Structure formats: structure tokens, C-alpha cells
Amino acid sequence: MLKAVDQKRVGTTHRTTGKSPLEMIATERQAQVAMGYDASHDDQHAAGELAAAAACFALGSTDVTDAKESGEACNLWPAEWPREILGENTRMRQLVVAGALIAAEIERLQRAHFAAIDAAQQTTLDTLEF
């Protein structure tokens, strides 16, 4: 648990960027979208790739050890993504990218959820007789 003094620092701005952690993540997400990693791109990754990559960035590794079972490392990194981008970042940058990827996955899940609701409503409307 963070001490009160440290808790105050968590929401403050970063000394070098002048941004809070949430602002840094939002800026990274906006940069991702500007580079073409937008909703239509993200929707192609419905098998958990965005969340898996975020986990790798958050942990700073493409492998996670399964201590409960065999103790072997399992590779979470999406196969089609270049592995070297993980190591090209500072630790803070890895965490910012992880946060932005989590935001992208949440956005993707929200779109899928609302698309399913819209489809169900349309199906209901199609079956009603007027």
C-alpha cells in the first residue's frame, strides 16, 4: 500500500513530460490511432491479442511463467507482432504502451458489446409484425 505522501505523487505530472500517467496513456493511444491502429484495425484482433500484448508490455517480457502447473514459460506475445518492439522501450514507456493497449482492448470490447445489442434489437424488430 502506498504511503499518503506517495499517493499524492501518483496523480501528479511526470517531471520530464509534464503529463500525468493517464495523460501519457491517452497520448499514446491517440498516437496509435494516428498510426493506423484504429477501431477497424483493433477489431481484427478479437482473440485477445491486444490484452496479451499489453500484459507483455506491463511485465516487460514476452514470456510468463506458469508457476502452478509445469513452471514453463508460455508465450503471450501475438505471433504476427515483431518481438523487438518490446525491448526497444524504457520501463516507463513499456507501461504507458501497456495502458494504451488495455484502453484499445476495452474500446474493442465495448464496440463488440454494443454491436451485439444492436444486432439483437434488429432481430427483434425484424420478427415483429406491424
Using one digit for the tens of pLDDT, what is the confidence trace for 26-78?
999 999 999 999 999 999 999 989 999 999 899 888 766 555 666 555 677 88
Q: How many domains does one find in the chain?
A: 1
What's this model's pTM, rounded to 2 decimal places?
Answer: 0.74
Which residue has cell 507482432?
81
Instruction: Count how many residues are written for the chain.
Output: 130
Q: Is 2 part of a structural domain of the chain?
A: no
Q: Is residue 10 part of a domain?
A: no
- How far is 55 from 46, CA to CA, in rounded Å? 16
Confidence of residue 89 (pLDDT cuts 50, 70, 90): confident
Task: Examine residue 1 and state whether it is found in any structural domain, yes or no.
Answer: no
Distances in Å between the alpha carbon of 107 and those of 1, 39, 110, 113? 30, 8, 5, 10
Residue 67 domain flag: yes
pLDDT-derived band of residue 9, with 50, 70 and 90 as boundaries?
very low
The reply to whether 114 falls in a domain is yes
Residue 78 counted as domain residue: yes
For residue 11, tell me if it sits in a domain: no
Domain span including residue 35: 17-127
Q: Which cell goes with 27?
A: 497520448
109 φ, ψ to 5°?
-65, -40
Cα–Cα dist 27/100, whole Å: 8
> Is 98 inside any structural domain?
yes
Where is mean pLDDT largest: 9-13, 37-41, 62-66, 112-116?
Answer: 37-41
- Which of 48 and 126 is assigned the larger pLDDT? 48
Radius of gyration of the chain measured on its C-alpha atoms: 19
